[in-house]
Amino acid sequence: MSNQRLIYGFHAVNARLWQNPKSIVELYVLENKNDARTREVLEKAAAEKVRVHFADMNRLNTIAKGARHQGVVGFIDASKNHVHLEDVLENLREPAFLLVLDGITDPHNLGACLRTADAMGVHAVIAPKDKSAGLNATVSKVACGAAETVPYITVTNLARTLRELKEYGIWVVGTDMDGEADLFHYDIPENVAWVMGNEGDGMRRLTREHCDALVSIPMFGTVESMNISVSAGMVMAETRRQRVLRGEAG
């Protein structure tokens, strides 16, 4: 099946079992392993009628391509995880909180962004189909289950998507070293989509032109930039902090 994708590790597999078990094609579990986490996986898999195979360590290492799998590996049908942006926006019951990643190609950075997005209550992460990491086993592992809970929406034309967000009343805010405001003195709009560019080149020109505002992250030390997942975590945390102070639903 061309849409099959590998997942591994207890966080990723458990999240998929609880959030979207029908997307799981099959699981491989280390034979003769009987710890509490393995039993939890097996019990939930049985309850959801997910096919489970028992395998030795060599086979699991081969399936996981040498990754640290913790004795549990699975294949999912990625086509059953597809979410449209309109589905997210039209079902919101609170002000929109979105993260847009423009040109993030490192799966570790994407996984870290998804993990923090889940923690901060982001409704969806949006990225262009081209020149983006895309969901894979590494992303799922780093995200510790967040790849299964936070909608990750890929779009063919990011500029057009940003225009659509504005039609929904969402303020598009880009992060830039030369932003006219700094994060700690910026009154974050009620409905916001934060746009983050890659570490090397930042946002693409057309993406930047579609931003309603550009905000910088103040730097107080000697380094000139931060890892994209750290920067994204800072703007997401500041957004959530301001929402808590305003008394918005979380």
Binding-site members are 197, 217, 226
Q: What SS3 string covers 78-108?
A: HHHHCCCHHHHHHCCCCCCEEEEEECCCCHH
Place of tokens 């895309």: 134
Q: Kindly report the length of the chain.
A: 250
d(CA 139, CA 135) in angstroms, rounded, equals: 6
Place of tokens 């099946």: 1
Query: Which residues fall in the annotated binding site for S-adenosyl-L-methionine?
Result: 197, 217, 226
d(CA 135, CA 199) in angstroms, rounded, equals: 19
> Would the CA dihedral through 12, 4, 78, 193 be positive or negative?
positive
Is the backbone of residue 193 left (phi > 0), alpha (psi -120 to 50) or beta? beta
Place of tokens 């070293």: 177
